[in-house]
Structure formats: structure tokens, C-alpha cells
């Protein structure tokens, strides 16, 4: 069995070449640490467990400017949840789906799942972002097709929409919302991509896609013939 995370299958969809050759993420990177701290703080607040001790544990190791940003971003996030009358369902739960024929195990940990006042289930992806990039990034994010499949498979929750909530990383943050419906053929789309990945693994073929929005941040772009010719 070949085990991959949903984010890796997304990377393969974006570009097989990048999926196969891109270095592992730097887990010690300051931006990654900030995002992890923000997610944990919001999750703890939604669970009603944000005691003074919890705040100390989550915020004290951070520089003062980051503490202020996390607090401000958490407040604006929680206010949006309240304004829309969303009910917190779950987060940070490991999901898994096994594709026996392709010998691939797909795993993922969701950011947040909410239920709205009309009892529709919403998956929210939190991101810190620079405001001038959020529009084009949202156009890329809406192509995500993998996450709702794993939620339905494990919890029998039929996702109605996938939402992207980028927040500007400042002490006076802005929160934007981009809503994308979950397509009816999402299961088929994901399964087809799993089949393609299996074929690539078996043949050792991971060709680059045509240049797209994500190429500008790819560490392999100067080695990629398609990017050079773009």
C-alpha cells in the first residue's frame, strides 16, 4: 500500500513533476509555526476550552507581535462564525480512505467543519494571506475536490460546500470568504486522480503540467522545461 495525504494528491493534480521532486515542507519554518499556532488557538476557542492556562500555553512561546496577530485573527474569525450562526462540528481529526485496487491509502486532517442554521454542512479552510493574492489563490483553491470525499467516507457527512477563509496576517486583519459548491461527481473525480497517480508510480512517469498559478512558488520552476518556455 502506498500512503499519501490529500494535500499530496492535490500537489499531484497541480503538477506530477512537482509532486515527485519537490522537497519536503520545512516544518520549522516560521510561517508554518504561525499557521499551526493560529489553527490551534481557533480550534481551542471553538471547543470552549480557551482558559487562561490554555492561552498561556498557546501564546507565551510566540513573539509579542505574533501573539497580537493571533488574538486579532482569532477574534475576527469567531465573530464571523457568530454572525453566520454556524455550529462547530469537528476539526483536526485524521481521516482515511483505502483504494484497494490502486493500493493507495488517502489520509487527511480537516481544518474545520461547521453546520449552518439550515443544517447544511460546510468545510472551512483557514489561510493567512496577502490581500493582493487572495483572489487568484481562491480561483486555485476552488479546484480542491479531495477533502469532501474523505469526510463522507468516514463520517457519512454530505458536504454542501467548501469555503476558503483567508485572513490578512496583520494586527488589524481582514477576513474574506470564498464559497464553492461540492460537485456531484466529486467521488469519481478523486478516484480518477488516484488511478492516474497509481499509473505514474508504476511507470515512473511524472511529467510537468502546463504552467499555472502555483508555478511561481515552486522551487523546481527553473529546472522545469514547461516553465522556462512559458
Question: pLDDT for 8-50, tens place per residue?
Answer: 888 888 788 888 876 555 545 667 778 888 888 899 899 888 8
Q: What mean pLDDT, rounded, does the chain reach?
A: 79
Rounded distance, CA 223 to CA 212, Å?
15
Does 107 have pLDDT greater than 80?
yes
Best CA proximity match to 101, nearest among 205, 202, 203: 202
* Helix or strand holding residue 162 (H, E): strand 159-168
Mean pLDDT computed over 94-120: 87
Enter the C-alpha cell of residue 96.
482515511
Most confident of 45-54, 196-205, 206-215: 196-205
pLDDT recorded at residue 213: 63
Mean pLDDT computed over 132-147: 56
| Phi, then psi, of 75 in degrees rounded to 5 | -65, -45
Rounded distance, CA 137 to CA 152, Å?
26
pLDDT recorded at residue 82: 93
- Per-residue pLDDT band at 220 (split at 50, 70, 90): confident
Does 130 have pLDDT greater than 80?
no
pLDDT recorded at residue 102: 92
Best CA proximity match to 210, nearest among 8, 15, 12, 9: 15
Rounded distance, CA 25 to CA 32, Å?
9
Mean pLDDT computed over 152-157: 66
| DSSP state string for 52-90 | HHHHHHHHTTS-HHHHHHHHHHHHHHHHHHHHTT-EEEE
**Domains located in the chain, CATH noted:** 2-21+87-228 (3.90.320.10)
Q: What is the pTM of this model?
A: 0.76
- Taking only the tens place, the pLDDT of each residue in 176-196 is 888 877 777 778 888 888 999
pLDDT recorded at residue 79: 94
Does residue 185 or residue 62 have the better pLDDT?
Answer: 185
pLDDT recorded at residue 134: 55
Does 124 have pLDDT greater than 80?
yes
Amino acid at each position: 500500500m502506498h500512503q499519501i495525504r490529500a494535500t499530496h494528491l492535490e500537489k499531484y493534480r497541480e503538477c506530477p513533476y512537482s509532486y515527485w521532486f519537490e522537497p519536503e515542507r520545512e516544518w520549522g519554518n516560521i510561517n508554518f509555526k504561525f499557521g499551526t499556532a493560529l489553527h490551534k488557538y481557533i480550534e481551542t476557542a471553538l471547543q470552549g476550552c480557551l482558559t487562561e492556562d490554555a492561552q498561556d500555553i498557546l501564546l507565551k512561546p510566540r513573539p509579542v507581535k505574533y501573539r497580537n496577530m493571533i488574538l486579532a485573527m482569532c477574534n475576527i474569525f469567531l465573530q464571523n462564525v457568530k454572525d453566520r450562526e454556524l455550529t462547530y462540528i469537528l476539526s483536526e481529526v485524521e481521516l482515511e480512505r483505502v483504494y484497494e485496487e490502486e493500493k493507495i491509502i488517502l489520509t487527511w486532517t480537516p481544518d474545520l467543519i461547521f453546520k449552518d442554521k439550515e443544517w447544511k454542512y460546510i468545510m472551512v479552510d483557514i489561510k493567512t494571506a496577502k490581500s493582493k493574492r487572495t483572489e487568484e489563490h481562491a480561483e486555485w483553491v476552488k479546484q480542491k475536490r479531495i477533502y469532501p470525499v474523505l469526510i463522507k467516507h468516514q463520517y457519512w457527512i454530505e458536504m454542501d460546500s467548501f469555503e476558503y477563509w483567508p485572513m490578512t496576517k496583520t494586527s488589524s486583519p481582514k477576513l474574506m470568504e470564498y464559497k464553492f459548491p461540492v460537485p456531484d461527481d466529486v467521488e469519481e473525480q478523486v478516484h480518477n486522480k488516484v488511478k492516474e497517480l497509481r499509473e505514474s508510480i508504476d511507470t515512473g512517469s511524472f511529467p510537468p503540467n502546463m504552467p499555472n498559478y502555483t508555478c511561481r512558488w515552486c522551487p523546481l520552476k527553473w529546472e522545469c522545461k514547461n516553465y522556462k518556455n512559458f
